[in-house]
Structure 1
């Protein structure tokens, strides 16, 4: 018989044969035993080793924390800690509190043990530390089978908790990725957001491809990868061919593996060849496709949960891709239309007595196309210049812009009064585009005298820049086009030979959250300090205000040619 005095672990009446009969099932479990007695450490270690566990034994709380620090640095924390509640330097409950306070150790389950007969008020009494209980409680002496069962149950419960936490984290990452995907405002931004989400979900390199109707390919990479060398155009063409073949006639998600000879090198790591696990889904109209690609080298088996998450990520990406691809196709048409009708420097008409410079900067790629325009035309014996903006951002706005510009060209053949022209444009919008409004500023200039007549329909008024002296806005205002309201007579002024007249659309200076009057004053101050010359004026203002604008920018600057000030 094994007595309690000689064996504090095993129950009275346990035989050595009973102790030896513990089921020594193979296990990868490591148990940290914290017991203040050498006999206890030996006995518990013997039982646990014979049950198939690996054992690390220490005698104090501080030794336990030091051992955990060492194992954490080596990447091998124990699976469970079997802790005596009566330690010489701290209670077992205090040791657990300290362990759980360390984020990287908090997942280690703690099984407290104590001897039979612990009195209330003893350091081992759980009532003394109600907030510091363990993942399990063991009273000694106990049978070897009971000790093994408690340890295995604590490890199993901890692993289930860890699995649940990992699953919850993956779902959180998926939700965050889908929010970023739904917030994307361009196919490229969409591909990058999806690639970042895939990389975070898998903890591995990832690449996402959004394929458009005309085989335009947007390749997304995680932020950590974008600064590295990317595959060349041949590799992208190979991906287009492969994606078209794999998604032809497909409905729904398809998951397959592309072997290294078929999958170009460098998409996951620079210059490195990998097989690729592909999650493919066509857009609903069947004209585009989305592919989420991850490397398979070193992956021995397929993880169904991981592939399910990537499939859901691909589905969200495909749903967002179709309207974005349609919009960007429309945007390309609108930009082409707008650019084809804006006055280009090499296509400006001959305007005797006047130098004219125009600038047009489209909005950043994440925003919609607008209806900004400018024009420089002959009108009788003078010169008519105009800058305007159709309200709204769409292909319709760009189309109406073209109609206004053509109508202005036609009207000024036999009419040059800017107020009359504004009224005619107003009636045209009411007749053919009811509900559409626009702003426009018209200036009729007589180069011989410098006389200028200004009609302003809801637009930023022209700015007269007097080199080295000042800059002031022309006091001209009136209602928007398309409202059917009467327009006031033109405002008259005279330009001096050194004066520069500047006309801009509000896209140059308008900033969300900033009063337009404040922005106009900033523009006036910047123009006052610009170097002489029309190009210098425009370049200075674009440098100050023209970066990452949310709206298109149209700008026209002119001066009389009596003096050569360039």
Structure 2
């Protein structure tokens, strides 16, 4: 397009079986500054377009004679419209014969832009070409915008469904790359200065930038967003932007869309390269700004949940004693494990407890239903209540009923599972009350293993609890208590998972620590829930 807004340098496909007519039409168009591709039939036109499509050099417009030897110009137009990669090519029909209105209408209905009667003045031909190309480019721009808006919408939906900051960064990076058609990286810097980095899906994971590059990006984001309001789009030259985020080992200038989350403390950055690549258009930058804002909004609840998770884990670690801090329990050996969920958005209420009583040793493993800071808080209350109730009561069934009443009174919308085991180390007599929990697994010295037949309702529902199940432990027997986070898998029946756990426990090496470590290695990877585990046997 020249300074006056006129289209120049366009390529025109002229389809006419009359050589003199092709020459005359081509001369007019070349004088106007266009490149001309002449062909003599509809079939030749389709072959030429196929070749140019493969080379990426499609013409900008086609001038097509209505009367061709192998097919009409109308039929050629219809065939072009049926081919997805050619359907956008504008067509102008022409004819040296007087055309009735029906013929003109037929051309327009076939998808043509205009109809010329030749011979025509050069200005008229040039005007028809300009109008057809402009209309086609406007349509293409509109279609591209619709496609980008669809991609933007799809990306925002994916971002909003992210369950962690890492999932969010990955989804935003892939969406940015699809939206702008270039490599992309996304960064979210949380309040503890931990940097979450997402790369577009096609980026190889080999030769990723080192920790120094990530620290440099984090410092840059803090500096650029200090005191910022709204979305800021800026370019960072390659000496200041570490190499390798867009392509392995390659240095690029970076175009950044920066925004702070609503609370104003966590920078979000969408980054694309500029050096050696097609520059993002103003429309593309506007969409990039919208995507950056949507990413920041989606990051806000995840950041809040992350802070809540930190509080919950602090509670859990504070109130669940490490193995070396377990109380002295004469006559009973213990091994315990606690592993928080691998997913950042899962906060459980799993717990274990081991208490020394006058009547022996009381152990408990339980799980507050739900995943939230509230669940972790209720877990702490249950452990405290259990300790208080044990001052004047040791019967596991009575303790389960008291915990049930406590939840009904103070947390009527909360339920929990708990398994309580009271052991007399002198005799091995063991009484078990199970409130909706996975029953303990008893591993005999003979190599046999079976779940104890102990069952009862959850605590918090107000149903009566049966009398404890009673058995006797031999000195070499082991009793295993776990929460369902160890074995529960979506789509797999819990009974099948319990059988897998039993088989794995049978194959474990002797000893309590070996048993726990074997089961964690077998079932504890990439789990969606917390895991609490307690194994015991009579001591010397």
Q: TM-score, normalised by structure 2?
A: 0.89
Deviates most, 94-103 or 191-200: 94-103
Deviation (angstroms), 1:496: 4.4
Q: CA deviation at 1:506?
A: 2.1
Other-structure match for 2:46 = 65
Q: Which moved more, 1:284-293 or 1:444-453?
A: 444-453
Question: SS in structure 1 opposite 2:74?
Answer: helix
- Once the two structures are TM-superposed, the CA of residue 403 in structure 1 deviates from its matched residue by 2.9
Q: CA deviation at 1:325?
A: 1.0
Which structure 1 segments of 5+ residues have no match?
1-22
Change (3 A) 1:538 1:49: same
Q: Write the deviation string for residues 256-299 of structure 1: whole angstroms up to 9, x where unpaired.
A: 22233332333322333322222222222222221222222246
Written as runs of structure 1 = structure 2, the 5 A alignment for 1:184-195 is 184-195=162-173
* CA spacing shift, 1:298–1:388, aligned 2, 3 Å: same
Q: Which residue among 336, 339, 351 is the counterpart of 1:373? A: 351
Q: C-alpha distance in 2, partners of 1:321/1:228? A: 27
Q: Deviation string for 1:452-507 (max 9, x for gaps)?
A: 21111221222334578754332222232234443222111233455442222122
- Residue 394 of structure 2 aligns to a residue whose secondary structure is coil
Query: 1:320 Cα deviation (Å)?
Result: 1.6
* In the alignment, structure 1 residue 85 sits paired with structure 2 residue 66: yes
Q: Which whole-Å CA distance do the structure 2 matches of 1:458 and 1:535 have between them?
A: 26
- C-alpha distance in 1, partners of 2:272/2:461? 56
Distance 2:453 2:189 in 1: 52
- State the partner residue of 1:306: 284
Between 126-135 and 241-250, the greater mean CA deviation after superposition: 126-135
Spell out the pairing of 1:93-172 with structure 2 (5 A cutoff): 93-117=74-98, 132-172=110-150
Structure 1: how far apart are the matches of 2:445 and 2:404?
36
SS at match of 1:322: helix
Question: What's the counterpart of residue 11 of structure 2?
Answer: 30
- The 8 Å contact of residues 233 and 257 in structure 2, kept in 1 or not, is answered as yes
Give distance in 1, aligned partners of 2:385 and 2:342: 29
- Indicate the residue corresponding to 2:217 in structure 1: 239
d(CA) in 2 for partners of 1:496, 1:51: 102
Q: Is the 8 A contact 2:347 2:376 kept in 1?
A: yes
Pick one of 39, 46, 49 that aligns with 2:20: 39
Counterpart CA distance in 2 for 1:537 and 1:41 is 88
Q: Deviations over 1:405-449 (max 9, x none)?
A: 244345445543212322333344345545433211011223444
1:382 to 333, 342, 360: 360
Match of 1:551 in 2: 529
User: Deviation at 1:152?
Assistant: 1.7
CA distance in 2: counterparts of 1:356 and 1:139, whole angstroms: 98
Count of residues paired in the alignment? 536
Q: How many Å separate the matches in 1 of 2:293 and 2:122?
A: 53
Other-structure match for 1:359: 337
> Residue 113 of structure 1: CA displacement?
2.6
Is 2:470 the partner of 1:489? no
RMSD over aligned Cα, in angstroms?
3.1
Deviation at 1:64, TM superposition (A): 1.8
Q: Which structure: larger Rg? A: 1
**Structure 2 counterpart SS, 1:501:** strand
Alignment of 1:448-487 (within 5 A): 448-466=426-444, 471-487=449-465
- Between the aligned partners of 1:326 and 1:128, the Cα distance in structure 2 is 63
Deviations 1:26-82 (A, max 9, x none): 712101112222222212211211222110111123322222222222221111122
After alignment, is 360-369 or 51-60 more displaced? Answer: 360-369
SS in 2 for 1:69: helix
Kept in 2, the 8 Å contact 1:376–1:383? The answer is yes
- The answer to whether residue 483 in structure 2 is matched with residue 505 in structure 1 is yes
Structure 1's 300 and 530: CA in aligned 2 closer, same or farther, altered over 3 A? closer
Q: CA deviation at 1:339?
A: 2.8
1:459 alignment partner, SS class: coil
Q: Mapping of 1:519-538 within 5 angstroms?
A: 519-521=497-499, 523-524=501-502, 527=505, 534=512, 537-538=515-516
Q: Distance in 1 between matches of 2:78 and 2:523?
A: 57
Distance of 1:403 and 1:41 partners within structure 2 = 91
Distance change in 2, residues 1:158/1:367 (3 Å): same
Q: Secondary structure at the match of 2:532?
A: strand
Residue 515 (structure 1) shift: 4.9
Distance between the aligned counterparts of 1:153 and 1:294, measured in 2? 36
In 1, the alpha carbon distance for the partners of 2:7 and 2:464 equals 93
- In 2: Cα distance, 1:453 partner to 1:438 partner: 20
Q: State the alpha-carbon separation in 2 of the partners of residues 166 and 130 from structure 1.
A: 24
**Contact 2:81/2:111 (CA < 8 Å) preserved in 1?**
no
Any conservation in 2 of the 1:467–1:528 contact (CA below 8 Å)? Answer: no
Cα contact 2:155–2:175 (8 A) shared by 1: yes
The answer for the alignment partner of 1:270 in structure 2 is 248
Q: CA deviation at 1:399?
A: 2.3
Please list the CA deviations of residues 493-552 of structure 1 after superposition, one character each: whole Å capped at 9, or x if unmatched: 233455442222122333445554554455456556666655555455445544433321
Whether 1:51 aligns to 2:3 is no
Is the 8 Å Cα contact of residues 466 and 528 (structure 1) preserved in structure 2?
A: no
Q: Distance in 2 between matches of 1:34 and 1:467?
A: 92
Kept in 1: contact 2:357–2:394 (CA 8 A): yes
User: SS of 2:536's equivalent?
Assistant: strand
Contact 1:209 1:219 survives alignment (8 Å): yes
State the SS of the aligned residue for 1:487. Answer: coil
CA contact (8 A) 2:359 2:394 kept: no
**Aligned CA distance change for structure 1 residues 300 and 109 (closer, same or farther; 3 Å):** closer
Q: Which runs of 5+ in 2 are unaligned?
A: none
In 2, are the aligned partners of 1:453 and 1:491 still within 8 Å (CA)?
Answer: yes
Instruction: Supply the distance in 2 between the matched residues of 1:438 and 1:322 (Cα, whole angstroms).
Output: 30
